[in-house]
Chain A
Amino acid sequence: MTLKAAEVKAGDSRSQVVAESLTRTQIVQYAGASGDYNPLHTDEPFARDVAGYPGVFAHGMLTMGMTARVLTDWAGDSRLLTFGVRFTAQVWPGDTLTATATIREVTEHDGAPVALIDVVTTNQDGTPVITGTATARLDP
């Protein structure tokens, strides 16, 4: 689907659950697909006993990848111009994550309408795990 500039306004928002009780297996699946096998994400004894964390945690890029869905499901495929985030808290196995996209403003880029979108993904406690912004092309 695609979005028309006339159909959206500042403050419009979409939320989506992008992970429900995140599994260690999905973290391993992401390691295999992305190529990032850092033992902090894939190796419980290392993460716990050597690195001193409670256990393995998700790649930040897994959370960012899952979050991108709320943007592409709303604005359409191949509509993103930018997408940037800060990783603000770690994501642990068992976490349930909700990604929210909120239109900050509808503006123009090279004469075409563009949405500037605030993005935040929170865990089951309401703690933001990533915050950021995206811009997406809209139909006139």
Chain B
Amino acid sequence: MSVERFPVEAGHVLTFARAIGDDNPVYRDPDSAAASEAGGLIAPPTFTIASAQWDPDYPLRPKPGVPWWGSGARASGEPVPTGGGALHAEQHFTYHRPVRVGDVLSAAARPGDTWEKTGRSGKLIFREQVTEYRDAAGELVVTARSVSVLRQPLEGSA
């Protein structure tokens, strides 16, 4: 997922910290954060994943006028897009500096390795993606590496 502009906003960090159940004031209270070692509001370690909000084409978000494969009154019958059934196998972060409220980051993603494992139930296809998050000055802030896995049933099996 590549994103040109990912502004790190206080309200977004607050709601993200709430969602992961982390009440640490460094994610929500400007005064307490300013007095802490961090010196101001920062984002939780996994926050950069929420750059998806700023990707206009992010596939896992319903969009006006675009068919969605989730259910209304009943299952929609819309086909699941490629990758929609993939599961997250691994996630790795390298932190070059903390993500701070007020940062305007960019995210540049590139594909990494692809590999397969074959088991009794079918084939597992692993795909790696490396995303570099940089600040407005172009300095590296976070490097993220994710691995997704897609199960492909053996031909002839359900």
Residues of B within 8 A of A2 (CB): 37
Q: Specify the chain A residue showing the minimal Cβ separation from B75.
A: A50
Beta-carbon contact of B50 and A34 below 8 Å: yes
A69 at the interface (CB under 8 A from B): yes
Query: What's the nearest-Cβ distance from chain A to residue B119, in Å?
Result: 16
A38 at the interface (CB under 8 A from B): yes
Query: What's the nearest-Cβ distance from chain B to residue A37, in Å?
Result: 5
Residues of A within 8 A of B52 (CB): 34-36
Of B37, B50, B145, which one neighbours A78 at CB under 8 angstroms? B37
Beta-carbon contact of B90 and A85 below 8 Å: yes
B66 at the interface (CB under 8 A from A): no
Count class of interface residues, chain A: 35 or more
B114 at the interface (CB under 8 A from A): no
Query: What's the nearest-Cβ distance from chain B to residue A133, in Å?
Result: 9
Produce 1/0 per residue, B2-20, CB < 8 A to A.
0000000000100110111
Of B61, B89, B95, which one neighbours A82 at CB under 8 angstroms? B95
With A and B bound together, what is the CA distance between A69 and B27 in angstroms?
Answer: 12
Main secondary structure of the interface of B (DSSP, over half): loop
Produce 1/0 per residue, B137-150, CB < 8 A to A.
00000000100000
B111 at the interface (CB under 8 A from A): no
B118 at the interface (CB under 8 A from A): no
Residues of B within 8 A of A32 (CB): 15, 19
Beta-carbon contact of A80 and B91 below 8 Å: no
Beta-carbon contact of A34 and B49 below 8 Å: yes
A30 at the interface (CB under 8 A from B): yes
Of A37, A66, A83, A87, which one neighbours B89 at CB under 8 angstroms? A87
Report which B residues bind A (CB closer than 8 A). 12, 15-16, 18-22, 24, 26, 36-38, 42, 44-46, 49-50, 52-53, 55, 58, 60-62, 68-71, 74-75, 80, 84-85, 87-95, 98, 145
Report which A residues bind B (CB closer than 8 A). 2, 18-19, 26, 29-30, 32-40, 42-43, 45-46, 49-51, 59-62, 64-66, 68-69, 71-73, 76-78, 80-87
Closest 6 CB pairs of A and B: A84-B92, A65-B20, A39-B70, A35-B52, A60-B88, A33-B19
